[in-house]
Amino acid sequence: MSRNKEYHYDIREFQLRSLVLIDAIDQVCKEHHLNYYVIAGTLLGAKRHGGFIPWDDDMDIGLMRKDYDLLLEHADEWLPEPFFIVTHENTPHYPKYFAKLEDTSTTLVENFYLGYAGGIYLDIFPLDDVPDNKWLRAIHYYKFNLLRKIQYFQFRDPYKHGHGPSSWLPLLARKLFSREGIYNKMQQVLREYNGHKNCHYVMTHDDKLKAYPTACLGQPKAIQFEGRTVMAPSDIDTFLTVMYGPDHMQLPPVERRTSHFHNYCDFNTPYRTVDFEALKKKTNTI
């Protein structure tokens, strides 16, 4: 199923199929005494809709860095089949700086230009300390955003918009920096302030680049999500207000209710059996 506007997968089927991921991560974290929090659109959906935002097609959780690293260290032994946590360390061509829990019995391509096929996924973000000082945080944002942009250029097709000036930055990024080097530098920036005494905020380093008071996370508390119990920040309202503003319980205008609609999704084929280039060529003809 492709991203072609005439042929989309059913988003509700996608949502329901992906619930096995939150069930798996909830069980593992509880068994091994790790605190996780549903965040971003998953948290907003739980609060406002009792489950998925109707047009949302992914899930997000966050763990404080210590628990995040512990989960990744033991994922292979703790997670049953068909679940797998993918990172740059175990999958060098994986194009993200955070982890994903994937269902390896499925195939999903977010964007073909990234050159990566995985399974239906749940995003796992580390929650890293950032400084109380707004100017230091601004410098931190700038460094991280710059590295993220370079990483994007390294994976993007340099000729996506032609062979003119638009190709120069991606080509320069590939020439001056290695993917491994940029990834390692990003990890240094992410962890830069962990453990500092003047840090009472955390970040997920997602697209919104918001800093959340560490105190609003606290001991995770239960919230209902699609008929099951998941764990949320102790102060849900503060977290959502920082992320989405004070009117987060109001539905956005219809024109803003958009889904990701990944480039390709197959609920029945393990992605490790897929020939990516052949799939890309076939899908582009649909």
Q: Are 130 and 202 spatial neighbours (Cβ–Cβ below 8 Å)? A: yes
- The more confident residue out of 46 and 265 is 46
Q: How confident is the model at residue 3 (pLDDT cuts 50, 70, 90)?
A: very low
If asked whether residues 123 and 171 sit together in one domain, one would say no
- Residues found in the chain: 286
If asked whether residues 27 and 120 sit together in one domain, one would say yes
**Which of 192, 211, 241 lies at the terminal end of a domain, its last residue?**
192
**Which of 149, 167, 192 lies at the terminal end of a domain, its last residue?**
192
Alpha helices in 50-130 (DSSP H): 65-78
What is the pLDDT, as a whole number, of residue 130? 97
If asked whether residues 143 and 178 sit together in one domain, one would say yes
Residue 21, in any domain of the structure: yes
What is the pLDDT, as a whole number, of residue 9? 74
Range(s) of the domain holding residue 144: 132-192
Q: Are 92 and 180 spatial neighbours (Cβ–Cβ below 8 Å)? A: yes
If asked whether residues 30 and 85 sit together in one domain, one would say yes
* pLDDT tens digits for range 186-212: 999 999 999 999 999 999 998 888 999
What is the pLDDT, as a whole number, of residue 282? 80
Residue 92, in any domain of the structure: yes
If asked whether residues 170 and 34 sit together in one domain, one would say no
* pLDDT tens digits for range 95-106: 899 999 999 999
What is the pLDDT, as a whole number, of residue 8? 65
Q: Is the pLDDT of residue 11 over 80?
A: yes
Residue range 244-253: mean pLDDT, rounded: 92
* pLDDT tens digits for range 141-192: 999 999 999 988 888 777 777 787 878 788 888 888 888 999 999 999 999 9
**Which of 192, 211, 243 lies at the terminal end of a domain, its last residue?**
192
If asked whether residues 103 and 117 sit together in one domain, one would say yes
Q: Is the pLDDT of residue 7 over 50?
A: no
Residue 102, in any domain of the structure: yes
**Could you tell me how far CA 175 lies from the centroid of its own chain?**
27
Interatomic CA distance for residues 249 and 45, integer angstroms? 10
The string over 235-251, giving b where at least 16 C-beta atoms fall within 10 Å of a residue's C-beta and e elsewhere, is bbeebbebbbeeebeee
If asked whether residues 66 and 154 sit together in one domain, one would say no
- Say what percent of the chain tops pLDDT 70: 97
The pTM of this model reads 0.91
* pLDDT tens digits for range 84-96: 999 999 998 888 9
Backbone angles phi, psi at 99, to 5 degrees: -95, 160
CA-to-CA separations, 113 to 135, 153, 154, 204, in angstroms, rounded:
35, 11, 11, 24
If asked whether residues 115 and 144 sit together in one domain, one would say no
Q: Is the pLDDT of residue 121 over 70?
A: yes
Number of structural domains found in the chain: 2
Residue 198, in any domain of the structure: no
CATH of the domain at 97: 3.30.460
Residue 5, in any domain of the structure: no
Residue range 71-76: mean pLDDT, rounded: 96
Residue 110, in any domain of the structure: yes
If asked whether residues 174 and 209 sit together in one domain, one would say no
Residue 139, in any domain of the structure: yes
Tokens 């209902």 belong to 224
If asked whether residues 36 and 173 sit together in one domain, one would say no
If asked whether residues 93 and 227 sit together in one domain, one would say yes
If asked whether residues 18 and 66 sit together in one domain, one would say yes
Angle at 56 between CA 55 and CA 58, to 5 degrees: 155
What is the pLDDT, as a whole number, of residue 259? 77
